[in-house]
Amino acid sequence: MEEKREIQQITDNNKEQFVNLFNYYLYELSVYSQEDIGPEGTFDMEDISPYYRDVRLYPYFIKLNEKIVGFILVTSPPYVAEDVDYSVQELFVLPKYRGTNIAKDAVMQIFKIFSGRYDVGMFKSNVRAVKFWTKMLSSLDIPVVVEEGFIEIKGNVIQTIGMKFTVSDMKLRL
């Protein structure tokens, strides 16, 4: 049986699954962000409802054979820097499905929908994310400008890496 890999837009109708999955994502990121759980035993989330309510934000579940296995969140102006069209703001795949190219397939689907100037940021210490984006963009022969920076999260100063690049329709047809 052939695997069915797809992305599915997150809407108000499936927001509960998104909120639940987002908490797992925050749990995974806590090793880099140094955040603690709140009194309810969950991570303190900002309001993520704009992702499924604002038309300038593009949230998608990553699905494998109809099962949700992660999500990819894409932003556009005014949620990105002035010289950027899109940002893959968050990319998360459940551990069981890592190493299967499902994240790469999801990103490729995003690139085919949204071509333009991108900015992708991540924690520098998140070696897995840095390696993923470096390998993926290199495999597509997409030139990348890498910028290092810092972010402060609840008093913790954390090093970041930003990758700026351009995705064009022509490049993806090769």
3-state class (DSSP) for residue 131: helix
Evaluate whether 70 touches 6 at the Cβ level (below 8 Å).
Answer: no
Number of domains in the chain: 1
Question: 144 in a domain, yes or no?
Answer: yes
Question: 106 in a domain, yes or no?
Answer: yes
Query: What pLDDT is recorded for position 172?
Result: 57
Query: What pLDDT is recorded for position 36?
Result: 82
Cα angle, residue 134 at apex, residues 132 and 139 outer, rounded to 5°: 95
Across 38-59, average pLDDT:
85
Across 110-121, average pLDDT:
96
3-state class (DSSP) for residue 5: strand
Query: What pLDDT is recorded for position 174?
Result: 44
Across 117-140, average pLDDT:
95
Distance (Å, rounded) from C-alpha 151 to C-alpha 156? 8
Across 23-29, average pLDDT:
89
Distance (Å, rounded) from C-alpha 90 to C-alpha 102? 15
Question: 174 in a domain, yes or no?
Answer: no
Mean pLDDT rounded to a whole number for the chain: 91
Across 35-60, average pLDDT:
85
Question: 136 in a domain, yes or no?
Answer: yes
Q: Which of 135, 139, 123, 137 is nearest to 166 (CA)?
A: 137
Containing structural domain, residue 58: 5-167
pLDDT grade, residue 30 (50/70/90)? confident
Query: What pLDDT is recorded for position 58?
Result: 96
Query: Domain holding 74: CATH number?
Result: 3.40.630.30
